[in-house]
Amino acid sequence: GEDVEQSLFLSVREGDSSVINCTYTDSSSTYLYWYKQEPGAGLQLLTYIFSNMDMKQDQRLTVLLNKKDKHLSLRIADTQTGDSAIYFCAERTDSWGKLQFGAGTQVVVTP
Amino acid sequence: SQTIHQWPATLVQPVGSPLSLECTVEGTSNPNLYWYRQAAGRGLQLLFYSVGIGQISSEVPQNLSASRPQDRQFILSSKKLLLSDSGFYLCAWSSRTGGEQYFGPGTRLTVT
């Protein structure tokens, strides 16, 4: 089956840039997503990228997609304490919209 | 704008009792609907998805079932809960043509 892998933990200093990495295995993925989850809350869609794109920028967020290596990254510029959360990478591989999620990366922002 | 609701927000149920979790979507028509379970605050597992009223697909065999009695209503049920059914249940929706998938606030279920 398909697997989406992420590192489990990232610590970053406030004001620095954060980079969260993700690898996926299904080359037929059509969309790739980044979600943010704060404690006790649902998942917030941060951004997503269509598989024919290499990069997408949205304010402080930059998504890079390397299809050859099946590697996706999320860069958060000027990381703030409010960015502390778990970040999930997900891929969509079919027309029904089913998503395959990674285990999530816990990002801790320190002052 | 579209919104997605889930209730209840939290639920504590004894083993062997029935379950009914509800999800409704506002502001859109003919959405695809999904139930996910998140265990131990980490990875999400897709349980069911639906592309229309009465159309339910199950992703994993389990003690749960789903129904879609109305276009924008999705229900997760069980006749007899197991301890292993504890977790955080998330409903989501997507449009038929768009790429985005949006999640509800979730229901925290504890089976005792």
Mutation pick from A3, A24, A37 vs chain B, by most beta carbons of B within 10 Å, is A37
Chain A residues lying within 8 Å of B98, measured CB to CB: none
**Percent of the residues in chain B that have a pLDDT greater than 90, as a whole number:** 82
Q: Cβ of A48 under 8 Å from any chain B Cβ?
A: yes
Whole-number average pLDDT of chain B: 93
Question: Which of A19-23, A38-42, B33-37, B69-73 has the least mean pLDDT?
Answer: A38-42
Q: Are B75 and B5 in contact (CB under 8 A)?
A: no
Chain A residues lying within 8 Å of B42, measured CB to CB: 86, 103-104
CA B103/CA B97 separation, integer angstroms: 17
CA B38/CA B80 separation, integer angstroms: 20
B37: how many CB neighbours lie within 10 A of its CB? Answer: 20
- Calculate mean pLDDT across residues B47-75: 93
pLDDT at residue B111 greater than cutoff 80 = yes
Residues with Cβ within 8 Å of residue A25, at least 6 apart in sequence:
A2, A3, A4, A70
Q: Cβ of A50 under 8 Å from any chain B Cβ?
A: yes
